[in-house]
Amino acid sequence: MNSAIAFGQLAEFSFSEKVHKFQEVKAGAQLEHVFEFENTGNEPLIITKYDVDCTCTKAEYSKEPIMPGAKSNIKISFDTTGKMGWQYRKIELNANTKKNPSIIEIRVKVNE
């Protein structure tokens, strides 16, 4: 067993918001939002991957470790082409955190 885990030394996401709701948009809009966070754990935070249900949603984040106390962000982009009505997209972030995966979410109502 990894000694860092045995002693509870893990990184931890602390987001300023976990859910972002966009204003209503017309189908075809390209949306972006930046989720800011701080590593409030006691180990460098390393994001290993993210999972989404649809290729219309992408995430960009630092591949470098985020040191304890440091801030960083995750940029989410969402392509509304071919979408109608309320859209909910969960982004699962896999990292060396106690709660894994961590989830952030975007919501938007798409009109014609």
For residues 104 and 26, give the distance between their C-alpha atoms in angstroms, rounded to a whole number. 23
Phi, psi of 57 (to 5 degrees): -115, 130
pLDDT of residue 112: 86
Query: Which residues lie closer than 8 Å to 87 by C-beta, 6 or more apart?
Result: 78, 80, 106, 107, 108, 109, 110
- 3-111 folds as Immunoglobulin-like (2.60.40)
* pTM (two decimals): 0.89
The predicted-structure confidence for 12-36, as pLDDT tens digits, reads as follows 999 999 999 999 999 999 999 999 9
Residues β-bridged to residue 103: 92
Q: Which residues of the chain have pLDDT under 50?
A: 1-6
Residue 77 confidence (pLDDT): 98
